[in-house]
A and B are shown apart, each in its own frame.
Chain A
């Protein structure tokens, strides 16, 4: 009966390094979302998957950000050549269906610090 899990929980990267953040959604959930939460702010949408299809990536801030969900389950958010402004908490959420009003279940987040 696990919820959404994310790993690692904390990541320190040197500027210019590539990082990969993993999300394990709730089993059977069709929709998967990534959000970025800066300190003291609300989460901001990054990208959305329905099964393995990436239907919306309009929130990705630059082409250094890339997300995939190849088998419609686990998802990875990759950030290439990290910059200090990438420091934030990255949240993953999943929901059972792609319906308005559907509850999104959030993971604990990965806190990324870029030095």
Chain B
């Protein structure tokens, strides 16, 4: 089947710290992988995505590399800001024409000044 496992939260960091949020997946076929972010009081927004193995998605200083050999898509940022405080969701689709998403449970990130 298809599933996503994210590291448990919450994650609390000081400003300018390095961030890693782990995400591993199980999938049949060749899924695309996504990171969505949910800021307080707002809807889910796409942060970045990668559609094939070894692709790197990047946006707003965040990066994630699609690793087929380890079935992982870990999210990283070199220097977090208070404004990065949000819930982060890893997700995959089935890699076919039916684009339903499978989400992880989400990881709450809080960044302190």
Contact = CB atoms under 8 A, between A and B. Distances in A.
Q: For this complex, into which size category does the number of interface residues on chain A fall?
A: 20 to 34
A95 B44 CA distance: 14
Consensus secondary structure, chain A interface:
loop
Nearest to B94: A100
Contacts of A99: 97, 99
A1 interface: no
Contact of B46 (A48, A56, A103): A103
Interface in B50-106: 51, 89, 91, 93-106
A109 interface: yes
B25 to A, nearest CB: 13
B40 interface: no
Interface string A15-59: 000000000000000010101000011111100100000011001
A91 B44 CA distance: 9
B105 A100 contact: no
A31 B97 CA distance: 11
A98 B32 contact: no
B106 A45 contact: no
